[in-house]
Amino acid sequence: MTDQSSSLVDTRGIVPAWGDVARFAIRPRLPQSMSGISPASLLATIKLYALDMVLMGIALLVFVAIEGAGFDLPSNELESIDLGPGMIAFIVLFAPIGEEIAFRGWLSGRPGALAAIALLALALAIGNLFDQSFGAATTVFLVTGCIVLALGSAYVLRDRPAFGWFARLFPLFFWLSTLGFAAIHLGNYADTEQMLWPLVIPQFIAGILFAYARVMHGLWSSILLHMLHNATFIALVLGGEALAVA
């Protein structure tokens, strides 16, 4: 286990833990092992959530200042979404699971994770061919088979270490994952004629934190952190709407 991977499972204060994240962002490295699920790693995830909220708060203040200076920011399509129970469940629970699997499930570089994500991608591709190349029964059978194989691969190969080539190229994979995560959120803005990349800086920062949680503690940690992130902003939106009505 590297110094980084072991440093987040101690009882240090919150500021040193945030310092570990900063050092990781400056020089991304894949640890030899993850801390796994434990009270200490759960506490470390909560510390990451606190850092996430501080950074998101700063980003929000910057955007408010920009608008206060007279600049009009493009509208976010999420503002028009009806936040019913189903949509809230999707944003808080299902979207984090799907996005973490897609963008960071493979970021450990382990054979089981890479095999599982490849099989899940194959399942998605087969599902998209429904009504084009396969019948319904065949599609369900093939997709189910890929999912079962993905879960089996992840379990059987769970103790295999990361590939050496992946560890060497980890900084590249880390930044591609983080940039990709930010890029998909460009679709939240209807106005595509403006320079929108600055608007997804919060997602870029969040992507760094989620990736750090994933490789240091495991996929469960990045999913939990992502869920807490989304839940907090949904709560703020609902709270703001309630105050507006009152």
Tokens 């930044």 — which residue? 175
Q: What is the pLDDT of residue 5?
A: 42
> Measured between alpha carbons, how far is 197 from 55 in angstroms, rounded to an integer?
17
Is the pTM of the predicted complex or chain greater than 0.85?
yes
Residue 133 CA: distances (Å) to CA of 120, 145, 235 = 19, 17, 43
Run of H or E residues at 16? helix 14-26
- Number of H helices and number of E strands within the chain? 11, 0
Q: What is the pLDDT of residue 33?
A: 85
**57: which 2 tokens?**
């708060």
The tens place of each residue's pLDDT in the chain, 246 residues long, gives 444 444 444 567 788 889 999 999 999 999 988 888 999 999 999 999 999 999 999 999 998 898 888 877 777 777 778 888 999 999 999 999 999 999 999 999 999 999 999 999 999 888 887 656 667 778 888 889 999 999 999 999 988 999 999 999 999 999 999 999 999 998 887 665 556 788 899 999 999 999 999 999 999 999 999 999 999 999 988 887 777 776
Q: Where are the domains of the chain?
A: 3-93+186-245
The count of other CB atoms within 10 Å of the CB of residue 32 is: 13
Sign of CA dihedral 91, 97, 98, 100: positive
